[in-house]
Amino acid sequence: MRFLLTTWGSRGDVEPLAGLAVALRELGAEAQVAAPPDEDFAALLARAGVPLVPLGPTVHSVVANPKPPTPQDAFKLAPALVAARFETLSAAAEGCDGLLATGLMPAGARDVAEKRGIPYVLACFHLLGLPSRHFPPGRRPGTPSPEGETDNRVLWEQDAQRVNALYGEALNTHRAAIGLPPVDNVRDHVLTGQPWLAADPVLCPSEGRTDLDVVQTGAWILPDDRPLPDGLEAFLDAGAPPVYVGFGSMASYIPKDIAQVAIEAVRAQGRRVLLARGWAELTRIDDADDCFVVGEVNQQALFPRVAAVVHHGGAGTTTTAARAGAPQVIVPQVADQPHWAARVAELGIGVAHEGRAPTVGSLSAALTTALTPEIRAEARTVAGTIRPDGATVAAKLLLDISARH
């Protein structure tokens, strides 16, 4: 069997698909991933032996700018991605037995599957975009809801209208071009009534939290057996475990002085600093030997050897740190990150920093809490409950759906 997996988003959207593709391969199936053509993602998929089908513009070109994307940028990107999906996925899906989509509102993916007559699955890595009577929708470009509106059902209806404004015209134009009828509610059409949740049930419990019939598989983890670089090994061996600080692809969101603040806050705790360069190109503030800067690295091997992980709260980093038993300090910036921060704090395995722009004092205070023996012990306890087989669970489900179809 052959499957097409697709996403458009950051590394946290691409790496899980690589993990799922590897799990499918281990079960005797083939899979290719249609994803943004960023060099980082191409290298990741190549390392996993998974074919890359370039889809749309690079993510780096959209998010790694001096300022975050504007609503106007979103209204340009949305129809462009719809067009890219119809063009790219239509060709890539030929001969496939199923199509799974995730990432930024993958409008166009289900429609290609419909035209091809193959099963379609929508997967997500958090609950933020799934309609629920229990919580309001997240922010989305477009006409905001009236101030004072508190009825979640109304708010979610207005969220659907915003999705239609972003994607509706482009989607229905392309559907008409291939002989498909129009869609009235793009969001619900993309999500389906039974989306998959590729997140660990301990870190992201789903029962009773959304109005949809969610299938929770566990997180899709790509095994990583790469050794750590020699320079990093030497730094780790030269003293007590350092505090890791990294903000991934959040280049246009994090404060410009975040490296200075983080290094000084970690030093205030008497700890060494391991600074991840990331898309913001973070770097040292002096030549002191208590700070080491690292690029892309095997976090699965690294996080068990650090004192704590300071990060933005992406699903992948949160899960990797939790599996490693490393205390976390999450400084959330956008989207689902505040939810991961809140959950880490609720579980007692870390601290949710209040606000996206920490000071030396506020981050040092958060680290004071995160570095306590109590949080370290709880982090190690929770680590033993994180299931490692989510990708295999999902791969078996996908094979079963295709076989039944």
Please, what are the domains in the chain?
2-221+388-404 (3.40.50.2000), 230-383 (3.40.50.2000)
Specify the pLDDT at position 181. 98
pLDDT tens digits, the chain, 405 residues: what are they?
A: 999 999 999 999 999 999 999 999 999 999 999 999 999 999 999 999 999 999 999 999 998 888 888 999 999 999 999 999 999 999 999 999 999 999 999 999 999 999 999 999 999 999 999 999 999 999 999 999 999 999 999 999 999 999 999 999 999 999 999 999 999 999 999 999 999 999 999 999 998 899 999 999 999 999 999 999 999 999 999 999 999 999 999 998 999 999 999 999 999 999 999 999 999 999 999 999 999 999 999 999 999 999 999 999 999 999 999 999 999 999 999 999 999 999 999 999 999 999 999 999 999 999 999 999 999 999 999 999 999 999 999 999 999 999 998
φ, ψ for residue 15, nearest 5 deg: -60, -40
Among 309, 274, 311, CA closest to 291: 274
Those residues with Cβ within 8 angstroms of residue 190's Cβ, 6 or more apart along the chain or in another chain: 101, 105, 106, 107, 109, 110, 122
Angstrom distance (rounded) from CA 18 to CA 26: 12
**pLDDT of 404:** 93
- Find all residues with CB under 8 Å of 81, minimum gap 6, and list them: 8, 56, 104, 107, 108
User: Which element (helix H / strand E) includes 196?
Assistant: strand 196-197
- What's the confidence (pLDDT) of residue 63? 86
Which pLDDT does position 68 carry in this prediction? 86
> Model pTM greater than 0.85?
yes
C-beta separation of 50 from 21 below 8 A: yes
Measure the CA–CA gap between 383 and 349, rounded to whole angstroms.
9
Question: Which pLDDT does position 306 carry in this prediction?
Answer: 98
- The contacts of residue 320 (CB under 8 Å, 6+ apart) are 299, 300, 303
